[in-house]
Chains A and B, each alone.
Chain A
Amino acid sequence: GDSVTQMEGPVTLSEEAFLTINCTYTATGYPSLFWYVQYPGEGLQLLLKATKADDKGSNKGFEATYRKETTSFHLEKGSVQVSDSAVYFCALSRNNAGNMLTFGGGTRLMVKP
């Protein structure tokens, strides 16, 4: 079945450092790919998405490119802030039907001043 694999955390960075969180997937067909973020004490919220190969999703300085050849959707940000500290989830849609998502295990990011 479909699956999503993320790098294990926590990832600890200093403010203004470069961020990469790796995400790879296994799926039949051509799923859409998503990054959701969960801030402390809150529910998940959509950060960005890409619906087809070579699409780049971007939001709030974060970006990720849908790479079909490597089945990857790595999240990057050029300069992280303390306020980016959160848990990040990579996810894929299941056959583009009903918005059912398969999530990865989540990666906790801690940014220190």
Chain B
Amino acid sequence: EAGVAQSPRYKIIEKRQSVAFWCNPISGHATLYWYQQILGQGPKLLIQFQNNGVVDDSQLPKDRFSAERLKGVDSTLKIQPAKLEDSAVYLCASSFSLLTDTQYFGPGTRLTVL
């Protein structure tokens, strides 16, 4: 069974530029999550979707971050404009159905903002 796919794996941009990350969850998984992991810290939830609806985006900086999950499968996370403090690894995870189901993570996208 294929795992969670993410692209790109690495991205370097200048501050004030925009960037987008893509995630394809495990087949059949209804719930999808985006996390931000700053170096030396545990992952922090940004947004969670159940099918194509947002369940929680309370920790998403909405002035610059946006996310969508069209058709309830793939998802994209966008940052516009990027700031230096956005440098982090962005992890996508999916789970089968319930918000308490085990989450399985993708390889992440390492973003460097110069």
A binds B: no
Contact surface of B with A, Cβ cutoff 8 Å: none
